[in-house]
């Protein structure tokens, strides 16, 4: 999806996508990071904070209502108001088929790298959301830059996640698409799980929304296309891969420790 700077315009597009996905028999619909609106560099922290909402606000509530109407689970994102002046949370949420918010995760790794400083406008979360049982499997929630930190995906996988969903807005740049594809495949392979990574396209972002299977096969690569892409997931494949390549079971947690310096 390519997000506009206007919240209302994006919401209309999002609700339309959920309806389309449901009519194509999808049971889970996942959206990119910053789907609420595109934040250009000139937008101040106070302007962003003034547009942010609570999870009970109109933006998320509208999405929940449509999720309930079409009986489809949704992973979405929004700018969430925080108690810190001129800072907002970058938050993802998961609805069940009844439109209830069953999980919420505030991004813990802010993108202060490669010339960007998200902490100038955003405030980091302080915890990882527990894996959530859904009709397609146990889902672990991550957001974009989190993918570069293997600790969080391993924590989610060892806690039962079978599918990692990572809404993203991956910024274009030298080697960035190569990093994007490599990191998503690696997170899937090392944890024996699916990785679903919807990404922003257009503006400053590279697109390439991906779905990777537990053995590292790319099931979906949307390239630079905006719209809906669909792939099937199988929990049997997660079990088979983890049985044949038991990386989670073979870990030596009795030895892993930091060296004293």
The per-residue pLDDT for range 174-208, each reduced to its tens digit, is 999 999 999 999 999 999 999 999 999 999 999 99
Of 43, 35, 44, 28, nearest to 62 by C-alpha is 35
Confidence (pLDDT) at 116:
95
Confidence (pLDDT) at 60:
98
Confidence (pLDDT) at 209:
98
Confidence (pLDDT) at 85:
92
Of 241, 139, 137, nearest to 189 by C-alpha is 241
Domain 7-244 has CATH 3.60.110.10: yes
Confidence (pLDDT) at 259:
86
DSSP string over 148-214: G-HHHHHHHHHTT-SEEE--B--B--TTHHHHHHHHHHHHHHHHTSEEEE-B-EETTEE---EEE-T
With H, G, I as helix, E, B as strand and everything else as coil, classify residue 241: helix
Report the C-alpha gap between 223 and 218 in whole angstroms: 12
Confidence (pLDDT) at 261:
79
Choice among 7, 81, 104, 107 that is catalytic: 107
For helices 150-158 and 176-191, give the axis angle rounded to 10 degrees: 30
Give yes or no for a contact between 213 and 222, defined as CB atoms under 8 angstroms apart: no
Q: Is 223 annotated as catalytic?
A: no
Confidence (pLDDT) at 260:
83
The per-residue pLDDT for range 202-234, each reduced to its tens digit, is 999 999 999 999 999 999 999 999 999 999 999
Choice among 29, 121, 144, 162 that is catalytic: 144
Confidence (pLDDT) at 181:
98
The stretches in the chain having pLDDT less than 70 are none
Confidence (pLDDT) at 184:
98
Q: Is 33 annotated as catalytic?
A: yes
Q: Is the pTM for the entire model greater than 0.85?
A: yes
Q: Which residues of 173-204 are buried (b: 16+ CB within 10 A; e: fewer)?
A: eeeeeeebbebbbbbbbbbbbbbbbbbbbebe
Confidence (pLDDT) at 258:
82
Choice among 7, 29, 33, 118 that is catalytic: 33
């Amino acid at each position: 999806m390519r997000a506009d700077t206007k919240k209302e315009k994006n919401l209309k597009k999002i609700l339309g996508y959920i309806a389309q996905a449901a009519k194509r028999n999808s049971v889970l619909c996942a959206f990119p990071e910053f789907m609420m609106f595109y934040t250009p560099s000139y937008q101040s922290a106070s302007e962003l904070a003034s547009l942010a909402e609570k999870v009970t606000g109109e933006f998320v509530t509208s999405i929940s209502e449509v999720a309930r109407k079409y009986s489809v689970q949704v992973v979405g994102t929004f700018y969430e108001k925080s108690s810190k002046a001129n800072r907002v949370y970058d938050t993802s949420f998961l609805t069940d088929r009844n439109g209830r918010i069953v999980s919420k995760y505030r991004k813990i790794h802010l993108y202060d790298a490669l010339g960007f400083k998200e902490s100038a406008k955003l405030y980091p979360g302080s915890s990882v959301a527990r894996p959530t049982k859904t009709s397609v499997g146990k889902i672990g929630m991550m957001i974009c830059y989190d993918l570069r930190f293997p600790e969080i995906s391993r924590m989610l996988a060892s806690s039962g996640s079978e599918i990692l969903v990572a809404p993203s807005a991956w910024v274009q740049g030298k080697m960035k698409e190569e990093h994007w594809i490599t990191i998503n495949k690696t997170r899937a392979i090392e944890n024996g799980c699916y990785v679903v990574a919807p990404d922003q396209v257009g503006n400053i972002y590279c697109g390439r929304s991906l779905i990777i299977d537990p053995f590292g096969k790319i099931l979906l690569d949307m390239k630079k296309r905006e719209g809906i892409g669909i792939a099937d997931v199988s929990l049997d494949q997660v079990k088979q891969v983890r049985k044949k390549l038991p990386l989670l079971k073979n870990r030596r947690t009795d030895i892993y420790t930091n060296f004293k310096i």
